[in-house]
């Protein structure tokens, strides 16, 4: 569960950085497509890892509950 929370937190931080970079680059008329694309892929990667860890932990917890029935 700890790793799922960590991955979700990192995903949120990278997403915040993505928004900041996009707005700053748009304000100063910089080319930002590649940087934003990389940050977007990184954020989605961490979000996917968080969901996979969460699903794994839920499966383990439900499997342990079945032993008590």
Q: For the chain, what are the domain ranges?
A: 2-66
Give me the pLDDT at residue 69, please.
Answer: 60
- Tens of pLDDT, residue by residue over 2-43, are 788 888 999 999 999 999 988 898 899 988 888 888 988 999
On whether the pTM is more than 0.85, the answer is no
Q: Is the pLDDT of residue 46 over 70?
A: yes
Give me the pLDDT at residue 66, please.
Answer: 67
Give me the pLDDT at residue 2, please.
Answer: 79
HSE, side-chain direction, 13 A CA sphere, residue 38: 4
Give CB contacts under 8 A, 24+ apart, made by 48-52.
49/3, 49/7, 50/4, 50/5, 50/6, 50/7, 50/8, 50/11, 51/4
């Amino acid at each position: 569960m700890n790793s799922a929370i960590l991955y979700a937190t990192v995903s949120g931080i990278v997403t915040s950085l993505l928004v900041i970079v996009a707005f700053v680059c748009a304000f100063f008329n910089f080319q930002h497509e590649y940087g934003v694309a990389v940050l977007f892929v990184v954020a989605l990667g961490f979000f996917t890892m968080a969901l996979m860890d969460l699903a794994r932990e839920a499966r383990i917890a439900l499997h342990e509950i079945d032993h008590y029935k």
